[in-house]
Amino acid sequence: MSLRSPLARAPRARRIGAGAVTALAAVSLAACTSNTPSTENEDASGQQAQNVVANDEPGDEVVIGFSAPAADHGWMGSITTSAKKAAEQYSDVDLRVAEGTNDVNLQISQVETFINDGVDAIVLLPFDGAAMTPVAMKAMEAGIPVINVDREFDDPNAARVTVLGDNYGMGVSAGTYICSQLEGQSDAVVAEIAGIDSLPLTQDRSQGFEDALKSCGLDVDNRVAADFTVEGGERAASNLLQAAPKIDAIWNHDDDQGVGVLAAIQNANRDEFFMVGGAGSANAMRSIKEGGSVLQATVIYPSTQAADGIKLARLLAQEKALGDLVEVEVPREVQLYAPVVTKENVDQFLPTAFES
């Protein structure tokens, strides 16, 4: 940690201090405060910390433009707030936030404004990846590196770096965890509450889940789809509980809709099963920490990926390399891991979880 760090981190550290974070190693603290998912740093040990410090040293002043869709979901809200927090960490970053819109026309004009301004880098979570491709291309052609977060452009040349979550991996993590919990019960009833079914991300999650269950001889017995909202989750779960009189395990794709799912479970007075969540909201994690609920675990889809985007944008603009890699240049693509959060490791993930 550099001399600057304690000062810069003081407010955050206080906030986190309430938790059991103090018990964690210095590396983990660095992970929390730097807004990168801890998994990236876990296996990195001391060397990573050194590299982070080297890169964290103030460099050239850089202007980063940031645009994301409207915060109509806890996860999306956290995308913007964690990106802002990541930028606040650095005295050399001037973050311009063109906030929250689901209108591609408007989001395009926001990016055009960044291009006019001649910002040093643009971090973009598009409302619609394909629709934002032309303007991202325009930025790249103007010599401004674009960091594409979460929703991919349809042309790889439109982004210098792409930061992605792992939807398929989420399904695999959830399935593998359920397999380990139901070991040996090949007749166990597994249910799945998906998000919006027509979205590729939902299909990827379900595919991963199915594949992982298959490897231990299980399959999805009951499957319903909701729509990422509390209300939709409640409706879907009520139907599911009606349809399946006995369940052993449920995977619910999304913790925001999980609030509704848990309400439905409570209304139906059911507790013969355990549930695994998805996305990783602070709500869900607190409930996992307390115990006593059917919610035993959740699988993370990092809401801090735009924050990673900001960090990478800064490195790019300052022509620095990514610590811990031999490469001189920042990689082309970073795909984040989808870890399972249980009572045992929840403290490690709680600080970066999103509030729904």
Angle at 91 between CA 280 and CA 113, to 5 degrees: 75
Closest approach of another protein to the CB of residue 255, in Å: 23
Closest approach of another protein to the CB of residue 73, in Å: 15
Neighbours of 279 (CB within 10 A): 30
Residue closer to another protein (CB basis): 13 or 225? 225
Complete DSSP assignment for 72-83: -SHHHHHHHHHH
The structure tokens listed for 291 are: 């115990």
Closest approach of another protein to the CB of residue 274, in Å: 32
Closest approach of another protein to the CB of residue 133, in Å: 6
Sheet arrangement for strand 333-335: 93-98, 62-67, 121-124, 146-149, 161-164, 333-335
Residue closer to another protein (CB basis): 117 or 219? 117
Closest approach of another protein to the CB of residue 122, in Å: 13
Residue closer to another protein (CB basis): 112 or 231? 112
E strand map for the chain: 62-67, 93-98, 121-124, 146-149, 161-164, 190-194, 220-225, 249-252, 274-279, 295-300, 333-335, 340-341
Residue closer to another protein (CB basis): 100 or 280? 100
Closest approach of another protein to the CB of residue 70, in Å: 7
Q: Helix or strand or coil: residue 36?
A: coil
Residue closer to another protein (CB basis): 103 or 271? 103
Tokens 């879907």 correspond to 236
Residue closer to another protein (CB basis): 113 or 345? 113
Distance (Å, whole) CA 193 – CA 227: 10
Residue closer to another protein (CB basis): 61 or 103? 103
Residue closer to another protein (CB basis): 207 or 222? 207
Closest approach of another protein to the CB of residue 59, in Å: 22
Residue closer to another protein (CB basis): 95 or 241? 95
Closest approach of another protein to the CB of residue 215, in Å: 30
Residue closer to another protein (CB basis): 9 or 253? 253
Contacts of residue 64, defined as CB under 8 A and 6 or more positions apart, other chains included, come to 87, 93, 94, 95, 96, 119, 120, 121, 122, 123, 310, 313, 314, 317
The structure tokens listed for 321 are: 């390399």
Residues lying near another protein in the complex (CB under 8 A) are found at 70, 96-106, 108-110, 112-113, 115-117, 127-134, 154, 196, 198-200
Strand 340-341 to 295-300 pairing: antiparallel
Distance (Å, whole) CA 180 – CA 52: 35
Write the single-letter amino acid at 106.
L
- The answer to whether 174 and 339 are in contact (CB under 8 A) is no
Closest approach of another protein to the CB of residue 200, in Å: 8
Angle at 281 between CA 275 and CA 286, to 5 degrees: 75
Please give the DSSP secondary-structure letter assigned to residue 344. Answer: T
Closest approach of another protein to the CB of residue 8, in Å: 21
